[in-house]
Amino acid sequence: MLTKKAAVILVGGMMWICVPATARAQGICEPIETVMACLARIRVVLGAEPDRTAAATAAKNTQLTTGKKTETGLDQLAGLGSSVKDFVPLLQTTGLLGAVNKDDKTGIVTIALNAPFLGSTGTDESKDKSLQLKATVDTTAELFEPLKKLIPDANREAVAKQLIDAKPDAQNLTLHASYNILSRRLGRNFSLHQDTLDALFAEALGAVAGPRAAFTQRVLDLANAVSVDFTTTLWNEIAAADRAKIEDGILAIVRAEKEFDAILSREMRAAGLDVYGQLVNNQPQFALTVTRGFRDDLFGPDLVTGRVSFEMGVDNTLNKALGRYNGTCDTAAAACLKAYSAFTSKPSTRSAIKAGNRLSVFGEFVHNLDYHYTSAPHALDLTIAKATGWSAGLQYGRLVGVDDAGTASGRFDASIQWEDPAQDDADSRFVASLTVTKKLGDLSIPFGIVYANKEKFLTGVDHGLSANVGLKFNLFPGTK
């Protein structure tokens, strides 16, 4: 084997193979293998990529997959639902009715409704969809809580069960429609940024034209040096003089391959193309969601809700990197790459990309229709007038202690939320929180401070500092 016949030495960052005289007499190839088989084996031993074009393409395509990893080993905790999560499309393009899934814990059945809707960025199943529809069915059959409280404590559960059992076909259905704007400047559809990546990558490859030509020349030199069929002739059938030439040629090819790989990696990082996917993943995102609930009176009034949200990375987006060249890189590749590389080479930019800084803001309303439920046998009478409640919030999240592999040791989250309930006699709610979460192995340890404008809204804390301020730090909430 090669490891017994040659020594691999690193000199000045380059890998060299030294073959002793005794080994050269016997050859670095096995007696019953062809030249191509020998070359392939040595490549495996030394970790060289045989196809220079394939190596470059693989480096580029990596950005289309790794960039979609929004989490770096630390799960999201308590709130901030949009600060680190991507907008995941529910639609598929096959059939009108999509997958049906049931959550055994909540009893919610989710049904995706599929069709080639207006706003889709493509017909291929891999493309993101702007418009997404789904339906959810609540199968828990829980009596509306305000209605349940009107039943005397002594027989509350029995009466509630009796009311539910009397209407086995009672519905609790909600339809959801979401629209996510997808363009070069909004949304995270990777297919919209493929042409820019292609243009930047092709321009950056000019820096490795020399090493790639050197590799090609070494292959030609070996082919011209001997008259041997490299794919069929066995090593022990080759003349000794030709063996020496082939050995030198194989070693030269492998050295050229390793040199190309090292230069390619260095140039791609220098150009900033190693973080392209993450920049796409931090693009601004605008989404609109509307729901309509159809519920039997046993489960409460029918609801209409709407939510508008906007989320973006902070100083770590592709918009920021490309500037005025966004959408024109294919016609001005050199200038585009210069602007892009100048941005991504800044230490502050690299730090922001590592941390995954995200800022999001949302506004939401909940409108309930007129509601009136009566049950003479149980002396129940509940009326709720139609009304609308409003809420808004601001959220910020970032990772901390991110290593070179992209794994975070913790995260920082901050949020403020205001709610104006639909009921006139209910108090407005304002809650603000700061949370630092430290990850130790598989255990996430949160520590934070929470403020609420009224004592009754100060929930989910482990220690109250005052009527309006509390700390959250309990690691095992189930033991409280």
The first and second tokens of residue 274, run together, are 């190693």
Helix (H) or strand (E) holding 173: strand 172-180
- Across the range 440-459, mean pLDDT stands at 84
- Lowest-pLDDT range of 23-32, 82-91, 254-263: 82-91
**Has residue 11 been placed in a domain?**
yes
pLDDT higher at 131 or 476: 131
**Has residue 445 been placed in a domain?**
no
DSSP state of 234: B
Residues with Cβ within 8 Å of 81's Cβ and at least 6 positions away in sequence, in order, are none
State the amino acid at position 421 in one-letter form.
P
**Has residue 134 been placed in a domain?**
no
**Has residue 249 been placed in a domain?**
yes
pLDDT, tens digit (0-9, with 9 covering 90-100), for 418-437: 999 888 778 899 999 999 88
Q: What 3-state class would DSSP assign to 391?
A: strand
At 133, is the pLDDT very low, low, confident or very high (cuts 50, 70, 90)?
Answer: confident
**Has residue 233 been placed in a domain?**
yes
The first and second tokens of residue 201, run together, are 């990558």
- Across the range 360-379, mean pLDDT stands at 93
Could you tell me if 324 and 340 are in contact, meaning their C-beta atoms sit under 8 angstroms apart?
no
Distance of CA 427 to the CA centre of its chain: 38
**Has residue 246 been placed in a domain?**
yes
Helix (H) or strand (E) holding 381: strand 380-384
Q: Give the domain range for residue 59.
A: 2-64+197-262
pLDDT higher at 78 or 368: 368
Residue corresponding to tokens 């100083």? 315
Q: Is the pLDDT of residue 117 over 50?
A: no
The first and second tokens of residue 374, run together, are 């009566």
- Lowest-pLDDT range of 22-31, 62-71, 365-374: 62-71
State the amino acid at position 247 in one-letter form.
E
pLDDT of residue 120: 47
pLDDT of residue 471: 83
The first and second tokens of residue 45, run together, are 């031993």
Cα dihedral value 373, 374, 379, 382, nearest 10? 30
- Across the range 216-222, mean pLDDT stands at 71
Helix (H) or strand (E) holding 224: helix 209-225
At 359, is the pLDDT very low, low, confident or very high (cuts 50, 70, 90)?
Answer: very high
Q: Which long-range contacts (CB under 8 A, 24 or more apart) does 164-167 make?
A: 164/298, 167/296, 167/298
Q: Is the pLDDT of residue 355 over 50?
A: yes
pTM: 0.69
Q: For Cα atoms 436, 418, 370, give the angle at the middle one, nearest 5 degrees.
A: 135
- Lowest-pLDDT range of 162-176, 304-318, 431-445: 431-445
Q: Burial letters for 413-425: b for 16+ Cβ neighbours within 10 Å, e otherwise?
A: bbbebebebbeee
The first and second tokens of residue 113, run together, are 């409704």
Residue corresponding to tokens 């050269």? 24
Please give the C-alpha separations between residue 26 and each of 21, 230, 240, 378, in angstroms, as whole numbers: 9, 18, 9, 99
Q: Considering its fold, how many domains does the chain have in total? A: 1
Could you tell me if 197 and 64 are in contact, meaning their C-beta atoms sit under 8 angstroms apart?
yes
Distance CA 166, CA 298 (A): 11
pLDDT of residue 57: 64
Distance CA 125, CA 93 (A): 6
Residues with Cβ within 8 Å of 107's Cβ and at least 6 positions away in sequence, in order, are 138, 139, 140
pLDDT, tens digit (0-9, with 9 covering 90-100), for 56-100: 566 666 676 654 443 222 233 223 232 222 323 333 333 445 566
- Lowest-pLDDT range of 80-89, 243-252, 265-274, 367-376: 80-89
Could you tell me if 344 and 268 are in contact, meaning their C-beta atoms sit under 8 angstroms apart?
no
pLDDT, tens digit (0-9, with 9 covering 90-100), for 298-310: 999 999 999 999 9
Q: Is the pLDDT of residue 125 over 70?
A: no
pLDDT of residue 97: 52
**Has residue 208 been placed in a domain?**
yes
DSSP state of 155: G
DSSP state of 45: H
Q: Is the pLDDT of residue 254 over 70?
A: yes
pLDDT of residue 15: 40
Distance CA 411, CA 18 (A): 49
State the amino acid at position 382 in one-letter form.
L
At 47, is the pLDDT very low, low, confident or very high (cuts 50, 70, 90)?
Answer: low
pLDDT higher at 413 or 115: 413
pLDDT of residue 9: 35
Distance CA 142, CA 232 (A): 75
pLDDT of residue 373: 94
Could you tell me if 420 and 364 are in contact, meaning their C-beta atoms sit under 8 angstroms apart?
no
